[in-house]
Structure 1
């Protein structure tokens, strides 16, 4: 008799638990493993796991990439760096955190694979290095800090020069692009994409 009473009590509880499980959204893993696309970009400050391929030996590093902010820069301040490329362009400061999660050492090539996409038809804009200059509004990390081994992370800021009539729309990371051959066309390698703003 006690057994039947326990079964009558346990059955509704089990059915309720099953119903709750069935209604739960499908678990797609932690947020860091979800990829952003141009159609469905991630929000800034959302980490994404990416693979960074090193050429010519095709070694790979697993990184977590988190674009933190995209801020319109001070044109007069950037001009003091002696860049000499600011005519008709607006600087934007893009701050990003990179964390090494496994694989080969990354010597900082990831910096060349972060792209800024705007409202125009140009495919992407690349960072304009500050050549180690001390520039507090957007301080690029030192070369030694950019060398990442497993467990290490770095937050760095890069300056992007965008035409004055263009607004930044997306930040993209393209880990399979050969950084030694940059061009205005970034090829067909997939990007992980975040929405600016």
Structure 2
């Protein structure tokens, strides 16, 4: 059955034809980031960073805390059962991330499109491929309701990223000014907060 999220994500994902995000609960608390990470000096996974996200299509701003929890190589056979149809020449990675609303406007989930997976090329980005609302325990994305953030609400979600087989994930990036309504595998010029992928 198609969900509202499917309609919201189908066109951007078809254009991006890219990538997968993460999975797995975090047993420990995330340390706060002393400074925002860069590709030259990335933050460690499980380090929280405060970011500003401009959501589409209304250009309203939300302050978030973003904490990538894990980047785990996925099971191609399991992902193929979702019927994504994009696995040819790609490897799935499960990326688990916690987001917390810290101020500004409520966000209906556009922040989720701003998390990117990179290899060693900072300009090349991979975005997530939704599981179309399917129950997929190895990497369960949050529901539409859970992704609506306001007034201190947190959510932890796992997304599937499809990465070319010859690329090893090296960085996770959050690009708050990314136009998620027009996804591309090129990052453009907007700044990113960057974490090591392992």
Bin for the TM-score computed over the shorter chain: 0.7 to 0.9
SS of 1:71's partner is strand
TM norm structure 1: 0.82
The whole-number CA distance in structure 1 between the counterparts of 2:123 and 2:84 is: 21
Q: Trace 1:19-168 onto structure 2 (pairs within 5 A).
A: 31-32=32-33, 34-119=35-120, 123-168=124-169
Distance 1:57 1:90 in 2: 34
CA distance in 1 between counterparts of 2:56 and 2:138 reads 32
Give ranges in structure 2 of 5+ residues lacking alignment: 1-30
Q: Which protein is richer in helix relative to its size?
A: 1
Gap change, CA 1:46 and 1:121, over 3 Å in 2 = closer
Q: Calculate the aligned-residue CA RMSD, in Å.
A: 1.5
In the aligned structure 2, how far is the partner of 1:101 from the partner of 1:33?
17
Q: Give the TM-score normalised by the residue count of structure 2.
A: 0.81
- Range with bigger deviation, 118-127 or 178-187: 118-127
Q: In structure 1, how many angstroms separate the alpha carbons of the residues matched to 2:154 and 2:41?
A: 27
| TM-aligned CA distance change 1:63 to 1:194, over 3 Å | same
Aligned residues: 168
**1 or 2 for the larger relative contact order (CA 8 Å, sep ≥6)?**
2
Larger Rg: 1
* Structure 1 runs (4+) greater than 6 angstroms displaced: none
**CA distance 1:103–1:120, shift in 2 (3 Å):** closer
What's 1:184 paired with? Answer: 185
Once the 2 structures are TM-superposed, how far is the Cα of residue 97 of structure 1 from its aligned partner?
Answer: 0.1
